Structure formats: structure tokens, C-alpha cells
Amino acid sequence: MKRALLALAIAGCSGNPNGFCPADNTTDPGPGCSVPVATITIDGDKADWAAIPVRDCPLCAAGDVAQIRSVHTADGRIAFLLDTLGRPVVDANHSYVISLGPLREPSYWIDVLLQPGATPSTALNSLPFTGLPVEFAYGEAGIEVAFPIAALPHNGGVVAYADLEVFQQDMWALQQARSALVTACWDPAAPMCQPL
């Protein structure tokens, strides 16, 4: 519920063309908000992301997702870089999760669990499902992940959260103190992607 309320707070629609876009989105080319369009190769190399601003996370611990960066790729994908503080944690008891939710109600969340060398596991509101194409790669200081926009049930954009998780007491649980967040509009004409 907390995520749903925050998503509404940062991604409303006022119809004001002189308003503001959510962080990491711009009105170029317009008419509404969108993340940059870029060519991204999902290979774990952050060089493709050099034009997307980096923000510091003073409260993050080693291995935490400090920031999520997002772009709309020219080949019809929404791509994310989960910037980690230092190297990503790579062992059987840790994973990273990216959660995708709509910019407006109704609230539903697609969670994608990422571990190196393993097929991503996906769940819709905690119910496992298969068939969502996910491409990802671990790198020296982050994890790249991309989804074909046509395969997502979201209209115009998503709110995405990412976290480091730890396996304990037979379940995955959040390990980091705060979630990284990004709002990623890919359709600047969508009503929910208009400036606030």
C-alpha cells in the first residue's frame, strides 16, 4: 500500500503543460514526460549509461541498490540500471528484486528476482507467473535489466523500485534500509505522463 500511495504522489496528472516531470523524466521531445531514449546493450557495462545523471546515496550500505536509472531504448524496451554501492552481492543467499507498478490505480506489482546464472523469477502481487521476457546482466557496480514494453501491462510508464534481498527463514526479505525508486514514462502522450 505504501508503494501505491507514493506512486500516486509522484505520478499524478494535472494537465498543466508548464508543470514538472517526475525526477529522471523530461518534456523533451514532449508533449508529456518521458525518460531519455538511448541505445543500451544489456551486458553489465555501465558505459551506455554515462549520459544519465548519477545521484549519491549516503545512507546506502555496500551492495545496496543506491539508484535506478532508466531509458527507453530505440528497439522498444524499457531498460533500467540498478546502480549498486560497490559490487553487487553475488551468493546463493542474496538476490536483487525490481518491482514494476502502474503510475495510477489500480495498484499491482510485478516483482522480478535477479540472481547471476539463474532464470529470473517473476510474480504478480506475490503470485508466481512465467512468460515475461527479461534480459539482465550483472556488472562491476550494478545490474542492467530490460523488458519489452509490449510485454508489460502498464500504460505509458511505470514506477520501479529495486532492493537487495536476503534469503532467511525460507523466504526472501529486504536487506537494505531504503528502496531505490524511479518513475519511467516511455509514452509522452499518455495521460499519466503529463507534467504535474
Q: What is the DSSP string of the chain?
A: -HHHHHHHHHS-----TTS-PPTT-B-SS-SS-BPPEE----SS-GGGGTTS-----TTPPTTSEEEEEEEEETTSEEEEEEEESSSPP-STTEEEEEEEE-SSSSP--EEEEE-TTSPPEEEETTEEE-----EEEE-SSEEEEEEEGGGS--SSEEEEEEEEEEEETTEEEE-SSS-EEEEEE--TTSGGGS--
pLDDT of residue 18: 58
**Taking the domains of the chain in order of start, what are their residue ranges?**
2-193
Question: What average pLDDT is seen over the chain?
Answer: 88
**Averaged pLDDT, 100-114:** 93
Quote the radius of gyration of the chain (alpha carbons, Å).
16
pLDDT of residue 47: 94
Residues of the chain with pLDDT > 70, as a percent, come to 91
Q: Is the pLDDT of residue 77 over 70?
A: yes
Closest listed residue to residue 48, CA positions, set 34, 37, 35: 37
pLDDT of residue 10: 40
Task: Give one word for 44, left, alpha or beta, with left for phi > 0 and alpha for psi -120 to 50.
Answer: left
**Averaged pLDDT, 49-76:** 94
**Averaged pLDDT, 68-77:** 96
Q: Are 7 and 107 in contact (CB under 8 A)?
A: yes
**CA angle (55, 10, 85) in 5-degree steps:** 25
Q: Is the pLDDT of residue 9 over 60?
A: no
Write out pLDDT tens, residues 109-151. 999 999 999 999 999 999 999 999 999 999 999 999 999 999 9
pLDDT of residue 174: 86
Which grid coordinates belong to 68? Answer: 535506478
